[in-house]
A = this chain, B = another copy of it.
Amino acid sequence: MAKTEVRVTPRSARGIRTRSALVAAARVVFERDGYLDARLSDISAEAGVASGSLYTYFEGKEEIFQAVAEQVTEEMVHPHLRARTGVTDPRELIDLANREYLRSYKKNAKLMGLFEQVSQIDENFRKVRIERADAFVQRNAKMIRGLQEQGLADAELDPVLTAHALSGMVSRMAYVAFVQKTPMPFEQLVLTLNRIWINALGL
């Protein structure tokens, strides 16, 4: 009896307003209450719309959370670091990347913590995150391989695993520092992570 409704991208201006209000409200409620304790009725109330209106645009909790996640992810992505900054020195690039990542993470710490939480709960959400992380790892792996070929990085390291491990290390520390709030000075954190990257790669 799978009555599959089609959730629409709103056509009218009013629709766009309502959808935006819902996403914004969802962000507020999720950050305040966490994923599990967030009630859809709170979200629609916060958005100032009827409870049923939520279902005009989203299938349920997962989907509206996804919408919040997408919005935030867009805000956070800063690609093409090299092209954007003109920096080519690997050490400097590592510093820039770590610094930017940590800054963004810190700024959106509440949500980043939520992402971790929801990854543990919602299969779909986890998949999307893993894919995204993998793409990131592949980019880094490519960079490492490049450095190895130029004789600038330890040739013994497996590029993919190394990229995975070092990226994982950074995101882990971001979580520890900004979500779990284990106290540590931002600058020291960046420098330590930089140095581990550099030492590990043998730059």
Contact = CB atoms under 8 A, between A and B. Distances in A.
Interface string A120-152: 110000100010001000000000000000000
A196 B165 contact: yes
Given A189-B161, A192-B158, A180 B120 contact: no
A1 B126 CA distance: 19
A92 interface: no
Contacts of A166: 169, 196
A106 interface: no
| Size range of the chain A interface in the assembly | 35 or more
B199 A154 contact: yes
Nearest to A170: B165
Given A192-B161, A196-B200, A201-B199, A173 B184 contact: no
A5 to B, nearest CB: 9
A127 to B, nearest CB: 10
A103 interface: no
A176 B168 contact: yes
A168 B157 contact: no
A164 B183 CA distance: 12
A164 B176 contact: yes
A163 B1 CA distance: 37
Interface of A: 1, 3, 36-37, 39, 116-117, 120-121, 126, 130, 134, 154, 156-158, 161-162, 164-166, 168-169, 171-173, 176, 180, 182, 184, 188-189, 192-193, 195-196, 199-202
6 contacts: A158-B188, A165-B173, A165-B192, A166-B196, A168-B173, A199-B199
